[in-house]
Homo-oligomer: A and B are copies of this chain.
Amino acid sequence: MDFNDTPEEARFREEASSWLAKNAPTDDAFRTLSPLEQAKVWQKRKYDAGWACIGWAPEFGGRGASAIEEVIWRQEESQYDLPANFFLIGQGMIGPTLMAWASDEDKARFLPPLASGEEVWCQLFSEPAGGSDLAALRTRAERDGDDWVINGQKIWTSGAHYSDYGVIVVRTDPTVPKHKGLSYFYVDMKAPGVEIKPIKQLTGDSDFNEVYFTDVRVSDSQRLGEVGQGWQVSLTTLMNERAAIGGSFGQMDVSLAVSVAEEVEINGRPALEDAAVRARIANWYVQEAGLKYTGYRSLTALSRGALPGPENSIGKLVGAPKMQAMSSYLMDLLGASGAIADESLAAKAGIIQRAYMGAPGLRIAGGTDEIMANIIAERVLGLPQEPRLDKGIPFNEVPTG
């Protein structure tokens, strides 16, 4: 065991880091751009030099890099404070779906501008009535000549308002069982009838949107997969979501807890000397280190050619509740001041409180705690699914409460 790169990995890391050192924008002019503009400028610069979507085939703008090279690149790029999230869904989840299911013309048309950041994509799967039961979606598409007409509502769509295109799963046949009546399209987000409304979260932020479709026409050529095959196509997208998730719950790590406990006093002594505080910190560190080294083990497997599996679900299942418990406890350590949200008055309280209010969302987004535990139980441990009352029943006859 060692934490070092293989010689090939080290060579690749060196190449990446020296390119980054020369090309990562740090100038003031760049910083005056909006975050989205910054992201687009930086993405285009990477694309032009062959550093965008490096795992993709060269004809789509990548360089056919290995999974471990992608990890190394991310590690190196993350040394710089550069916006990246805008393209995560499009490049991480939708790109692979287009590669697997789109026509050659569509691949040639859409993948390069997706890689270069010139076109942004979003994903339109979730619906108000769906939630954990993703396939229970109700947005309908009805055939009209060479077109389909879409009506319904999507929700939790990140980036809908700045996206050029979106992928959408819709119900094309409500009279067959749930998973069998779906089809998958891409849509122009600027098309008539598409209406985007931001959702205000309980944190006060708006990271997501509701997207309403009213008689939105899409051509049948925008369909990916066969009619009725929408669920299989969306699984391609979702599998790549799972690969994208995991690990990154470090926005509030134990070092923050240690520093708060060093500053705050209990009975005239630093809280870090209090045995109850120490027990908590120890337990969080066990979780944090455990996830970190689980990540190292996955990385090792990845570098040997393995695919990321469902066991990565533990990152979120452990990380999100830890963030909630830790932020709650640190607020307690701050006492009445823990309630202060104003970072100018109480710097750490503000950060901690953002974490506390954000944690419930992290425990839900991309699969609730309960779904994550199901995934581990079923796909890792091989336990049986629950009995499914909606199995084999026409969608329009499934009980909906």
A residues contacting B by CB (< 8 A) are 266, 274-279, 386-387, 389
Contacts and interface: CB of A to CB of B under 8 A. Distances in A.
Contact of A276 (B276, B386, B387, B389): B276
A389 to B, nearest CB: 6
Nearest to A266: B275
Contact of A387 (B277, B278, B387): B387
Contact of A275 (B276, B386, B387, B389): B276
Contacts of A389: 387
Nearest to A387: B387
11 contacts: A266-B275, A274-B275, A275-B275, A275-B276, A275-B277, A276-B276, A276-B278, A276-B279, A386-B386, A387-B387, A387-B389
Contacts of A387: 387, 389
A215 to B, nearest CB: 38
Contacts of A274: 275
Nearest first, the 9 A-B pairs at minimum CB distance are: A275-B276, A276-B276, A275-B275, A276-B279, A274-B275, A387-B387, A387-B389, A276-B278, A275-B277
A275 to B, nearest CB: 4
A260 to B, nearest CB: 16
A275 B272 CA distance: 11
Given A275-B276, A276-B279, A387-B387, 8 more contacts: A266-B275, A274-B275, A275-B275, A275-B277, A276-B276, A276-B278, A386-B386, A387-B389
A312 to B, nearest CB: 28
Nearest to A273: B275
Nearest to A389: B387
Residue of A279, A386, A389 with most chain B CB atoms under a 10 A cut-off: A279
Nearest to A278: B276
A230 to B, nearest CB: 27
Contacts of A386: 386
